[in-house]
Structure 1
Amino acid sequence: MDTVPYKLLVVDTENSTVLLTDGESGEIIREWPFPGEYSPVDIQLTADSAIAYIPTSNNQGRGTLFSISLPAGQLMQLPLDLPPIERFAAGPQLGQAVVATRDGALFLLDIEKRSLTLLGRSGEPTACVGLATDDNAVYTVWQHDQNGVLAIFSPDGQLQDERFLPGLPTNLSQSERYLYIPFTTASAGEEGMILLPKQISEAALRAISLHHCPSEASFRIYPCQVAITPDESTAYVVHEDSANVSVIDIASATVSGYIPVGRSLSCLTLLPDSQFAVAGSYMFADLSLIDLVNRRLLSLTDGERELFGQVAVLHSGR
């Protein structure tokens, strides 16, 4: 099958290098080295795809933000000391980002002004496992012991809404209308994905069980990340422990099928035509190409490089 032309931004963790590659051939177009003491936390594009952000942390309890100006082809390190970064989300405005740290604090990072403003800090042991922004809000999910919490803040840090979640959330994704929260449990029990309209004051949580595949009945699947098609018709839920991907029909909030991958995956990024996806594996440090139409694994990277699971996809014109 032919794919819509695209490029990938990938992090080679072994060689501490950001790679720009041709999506179809895998040919490396450009490389940007960064200091080896830092490990990537994520890689994200701004809304206009002009800048790629690579938030990082090191073993000395320090975080830093690298950015690549894609039109200029220049990598820069933000000259601002940051606490160790656990989660990162570009926005809510251009030139801003929200950062969650390992000690349960939430900060607004003004990249242009090089300033860090505390939005809030948990009063009890907690971990931020998901973070997203849009023009109106900052969405966060947290693990508290055996439970989970969704907390929504205004861009200036005012708490707008809070919901307790079933089980332990593992991540957070968003589309224009919905929040998607995969969850697991501290002990053997139901695992699934929560589907929640963003206007949550008038909406109830819908938890979609992901125990519909007979081969998964006897062990945990650990749903860990959700990718959504641009038309918001389908969600793909990655199962890190059961070697497959759930396909969710969003309109009916039901499981419509599974993609048997046969290996552990940690994250999934849809390609421009939504017929294919690139999946990353933290266990194997490689990338997979998945055919979403025929629901099968197509290929793997050759293993000569250790690749960070998250990637950023650029249309060929970028």
Structure 2
Amino acid sequence: MKKLNKKYIKWIIVLFLLAMIVVSYALNLGKIKDKTVDSIAQITIPFSLIVNPKNIDEDIAPKTISLDKSDMSKTKQQALNLVSTINDDYHNTNELSFLSNKQEKALLKRVHKKSHRYITNMTLLNFGKDTHGKYITVSCNRYDDTKNIVSYRYRLYYRDDSIVSAKYLNTKTNKYAPQYVMENIDLGNSGVNQAQNFVQRFKTAIINSNLTATNANEPGNFNQISINLGLDPDKSNTGLFNLAKNSNSRVSNFGIVGYQISDVPRYTRFYLKQLSKSNTYYYTLTYSRNSSRFINFQKDIISTDSQNK
């Protein structure tokens, strides 16, 4: 009986030890898995294996503007009032007080280079905003003894009802004085409060299409994206192609740096700036206030500043 008891005791001890080993292994198995997962997570995959090495970027982006939610109809009226005041001052004093002394002397020297030349009035070409502030663009219209009218164009930055600085833009000649903002035309929906969301839409469309810098081969690749966004593909595919081709890995190296409003044509134009490590690119997003939609996305700056008709 004693021998039998000793035999059972030995088996009980063996089974107990086996059970302890199994339990110990089971408890450590989770830790082994955790350690394995942690080890895998610590492995760093080079970013260059995911994107084109040429596309690895510092997070560069241009300085952008805030898009006003205010009533642009009031802003238009303010622009018209400023030009009216400028004309009244000029007719009363015969001085171009909206220019600096140096700018006024330089302009009058050009005007009076020949006899029978004079500036008769200023007309409003557009109004808008850029990274320097709100502005109006005016044409100083020079008449002489010919049928041509010479347009000296200046961008005037203002604060409230005062002109704070002026920048000469260009000179154009035509048979008619230019005027692209009209008092008797309703502004309508300016598109300003919609622009940021629309830019986000085509950014998302480019990312989802996989047509970024490494895969953007030709403008035609962007026809369908243009159509999906409601843009004219013939006028927009090249702009979207260049934006994608020059984008960084996050398609985040661009932003809205200005907008400009005119009545002839009845457009609001938004200007986008894109940065790379070595270059700067500009684009124009056009909103038609007749159809209340965005219609074109084009390379470069398109503006009534240089329009000549």
Structure with the bigger RCO (C-alpha within 8 Å, sep 6+) is 2
- TM (norm. structure 1) is 0.23
| Greater percentage in strand | 1
- TM (norm. structure 2) is 0.24
* Max Rg structure: 2
| Greater percentage in helix | 2
